[in-house]
């Protein structure tokens, strides 16, 4: 079907397209003439420059304008050196990093010329050497160092504090992540701090803004960690009766505090401290509980099936609580929860809500942390049978840090908001996002 003019729609479209192309070519020719008149002595292009278009201009840009690739680039932020992997990894975990404590990251960087703050360097070494362990302890140390960074920070001229400070934090966070992968609690704290920095009004003076940020960090420490631990202790106290036998695993702040609090309040109970190699963190828990006069039993994780028949409740800590209800905690937690389920012993997990994350994980393979494999070497009678494991191509040592416990093995999660099931994690995250 043709319109009144006798031409089809396709022919009309072709005519319009040809007319537009002619007008565009005419404009490009005029711009080229103006550019040649302004710069008669145009330098010859070197072979390294980008090829010019048909009209003599570089690419499709107007004549006389410097190509984007030829513009001087601003100096990049000094990169943090990458830490080298150590040893041969198990194929199933080849996508994860495996570091050695004998080769810290500071060997590859010049401390006087680095942009990393000395307090951050010290903290990174404490992380990598295992001096500061545990999600809460690592997060508290991180926030204290960030307070020192903010105190020592000064805004450069022609810069905004809300933007420049976030850029200054990035290499420090990258350095800490190279020393040891950041925990979920540290990631949430960093996200919170960046949000607070970006929300600072431009009308604030630098000193006022720095004081406000330090006060915000103090409030986060007090409300999300310290007061949250006290609220968890009060809730855990309601679940423990006289003559109970409580099995605890790992060196968790809440577990230690819970035992000490119950001892003060006069509850008669017994604690079985389960421990595992290579960190043997349960020894510190045992010392603190015995110092309080609590009757304790110390066993290794391979003996839990012998003590579970007399256990009334299992009390565990958590590294993170995932959005699908799974509990990410110290390696061995999943095994204890599984055996407890077989013996019909209730499993209670103590976890602050600032450790909740939107990540979903159903296994321990996709996302985990590999610790130094040399920690698995045991000295027996002055000899280490695995001392030369790195030279044996058919031998690989695996030192996993965390495992994932499915939600059906956990009866209750004790948080600073009260006692909730594992499946309520998305609800808590939704409420937190609304409040923020």
Residue 233 has a pLDDT of 86
Q: What is the tens place of the pLDDT at every residue in 88-100?
A: 888 888 888 888 7
Residue 74 has a pLDDT of 46
Residue 281 has a pLDDT of 87
Strands (E), 276-416: 295-300, 313-317, 320-321, 327-330, 347-350, 402-405, 412-415
Specify whether the CB–CB gap between 312 and 347 falls below 8 A: no
* pLDDT at residue 279 tops 50: yes
Nearest to 121 by CA among 134, 109, 131, 133: 109
Q: Per the confidence metrics, is the pTM higher than 0.75?
A: yes
Residue 42 has a pLDDT of 46
Q: Is the peptide bond before 189 cis (omega within 30 degrees of 0)?
A: no
* pLDDT at residue 301 tops 60: yes
Q: Sorting pLDDT into bands at 50, 70 and 90, what band is 384?
A: confident
Q: What is the tens place of the pLDDT at every residue in 305-316?
A: 999 999 999 999
Whole-angstrom Cα distance, residue 222 to residue 235? 18
The segment with the largest mean pLDDT, out of 97-106, 213-222, 248-257, 364-373, is 213-222
Asked which of 26-35, 65-74, 156-165 is least confident by mean pLDDT, the reply is 65-74
Nearest to 228 by CA among 421, 418, 1: 418
Those residues with Cβ within 8 angstroms of residue 126's Cβ, 6 or more apart along the chain or in another chain: 132, 141
Q: Sorting pLDDT into bands at 50, 70 and 90, what band is 65?
A: low
Residue 109 has a pLDDT of 61
* pLDDT at residue 2 tops 60: no
> With pLDDT > 90 as the criterion, what percentage of the chain qualifies?
44
Residue 48 has a pLDDT of 44
- 261 secondary structure, DSSP code: H
Q: Sorting pLDDT into bands at 50, 70 and 90, what band is 44?
A: very low
Asked which of 115-119, 135-139, 265-269 is least confident by mean pLDDT, the reply is 265-269
Residue 113 has a pLDDT of 53
CB atoms within 10 A of CB 388: 10
DSSP string, 394-427: T-----B-EEEE-GGG--EEEETTEEE-GGGHHH
Residue 389 has a pLDDT of 82
Residue 59 has a pLDDT of 47
* pLDDT at residue 319 tops 60: yes
- Please state, rounded to an integer, the average pLDDT across all residues of the chain: 82
Residue 47 has a pLDDT of 46
* pLDDT at residue 188 tops 80: yes
Q: Which of the two residues, 105 and 297, has the higher pLDDT score?
A: 297
Q: What is the tens place of the pLDDT at every residue in 386-427?
A: 878 888 888 888 999 999 999 999 999 999 999 999 989 999
Specify whether the CB–CB gap between 421 and 412 falls below 8 A: yes
Whole-angstrom Cα distance, residue 211 to residue 209? 5
Q: Which domains does the chain have, with CATH numbers?
A: 114-226 (1.20.120), 241-364+400-435 (3.40.50.10470)
Residue 182 has a pLDDT of 94
Q: What is the tens place of the pLDDT at every residue in 281-296?
A: 889 889 988 888 889 9
Q: Which of the two residues, 261 and 373, has the higher pLDDT score?
A: 373
Pair of tokens at residue 312:
């009334």
Q: What is the tens place of the pLDDT at every residue in 227-273?
A: 999 999 888 888 888 889 999 996 555 555 555 555 555 668 899 99
Pair of tokens at residue 234:
């009060």
From edge to edge, which strands make up the β-sheet containing 402-405? 320-321, 327-330, 402-405
Q: What is the tens place of the pLDDT at every residue in 140-185?
A: 999 999 999 999 999 988 888 888 999 999 999 999 998 899 999 9
* pLDDT at residue 5 tops 60: no
Asked which of 43-52, 239-248, 357-366 is least confident by mean pLDDT, the reply is 43-52
Whole-angstrom Cα distance, residue 183 to residue 221? 16
Specify whether the CB–CB gap between 151 and 186 falls below 8 A: no
Q: Sorting pLDDT into bands at 50, 70 and 90, what band is 46?
A: very low
Specify whether the CB–CB gap between 209 and 234 falls below 8 A: no
Q: Is 160 helix (H, G, I), strand (E, B) or coil?
A: coil
* pLDDT at residue 112 tops 70: no
Residue 263 has a pLDDT of 57
CA Rg value for the chain: 31
* pLDDT at residue 58 tops 90: no
User: What's phi and psi for 327, nearest 5 deg?
Assistant: -105, 120
Those residues with Cβ within 8 angstroms of residue 138's Cβ, 6 or more apart along the chain or in another chain: 127, 132, 183, 185, 186
């Amino acid at each position: 079907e043709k319109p009144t003019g006798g031409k089809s729609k396709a022919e009309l479209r072709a005519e319009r397209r040809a007319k537009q192309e002619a007008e565009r070519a005419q404009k490009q020719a005029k711009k080229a003439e103006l550019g040649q008149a302004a710069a008669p002595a145009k330098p010859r292009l070197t072979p390294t420059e980008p090829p010019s278009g048909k009209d003599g201009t570089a690419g499709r840009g107007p004549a006389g304008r410097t190509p984007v690739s030829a513009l001087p680039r601003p100096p990049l932020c000094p990169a943090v050196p990458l830490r080298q992997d150590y040893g041969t990894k198990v194929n199933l975990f080849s996508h994860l990093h495996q570091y050695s404590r004998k080769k810290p990251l500071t060997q590859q960087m010049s401390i006087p010329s680095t942009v990393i703050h000395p307090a951050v360097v010290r903290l990174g070494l404490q992380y990598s050497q295992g001096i500061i362990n545990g999600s809460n302890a690592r997060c508290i140390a991180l926030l204290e160092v960030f307070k020192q960074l903010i105190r020592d920070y000064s805004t450069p001229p022609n810069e905004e504090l809300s933007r420049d400070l976030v850029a200054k934090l990035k290499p420090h966070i990258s350095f800490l992540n190279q020393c040891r992968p950041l925990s979920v609690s540290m990631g949430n704290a960093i996200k919170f701090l960046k949000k607070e920095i970006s929300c600072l009004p431009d009308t604030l003076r630098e000193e006022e803004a720095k004081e406000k940020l330090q006060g915000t960090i103090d409030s986060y420490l007090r409300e999300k960690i310290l007061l949250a631990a006290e609220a968890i202790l009060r809730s855990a106290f309601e679940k423990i009766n006289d003559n109970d036998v409580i099995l605890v695993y790992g060196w968790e702040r809440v577990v230690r505090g819970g035992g000490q609090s119950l001892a003060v309040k006069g509850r008669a109970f017994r604690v079985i401290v389960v421990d595992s190699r290579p960190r043997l963190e349960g020894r510190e828990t045992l010392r603190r509980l015995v110092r309080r006069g609590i009757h304790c039993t110390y066993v290794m994780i391979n003996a839990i099936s012998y003590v579970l028949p007399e256990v009334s409740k299992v009390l565990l800590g958590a590294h993170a609580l995932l959005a699908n209800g799974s509990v990410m905690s110290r390696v061995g937690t999943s095994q204890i929860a599984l055996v407890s389920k077989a013996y019909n012993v209730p499993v209670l997990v103590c976890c602050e809500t600032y450790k909740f994350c939107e990540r979903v994980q159903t296994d321990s393979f996709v996302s985990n942390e590999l610790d130094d494999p040399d920690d698995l070497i045991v000295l027996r009678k002055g000899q280490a049978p695995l001392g030369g494991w790195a030279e044996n191509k058919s031998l690989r040592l695996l030192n996993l840090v965390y495992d994932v416990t499915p939600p059906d093995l956990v009866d209750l999660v004790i948080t600073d908001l009260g006692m909730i099931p594992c499946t309520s994690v998305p609800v808590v995250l939704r409420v937190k996002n609304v409040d923020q």
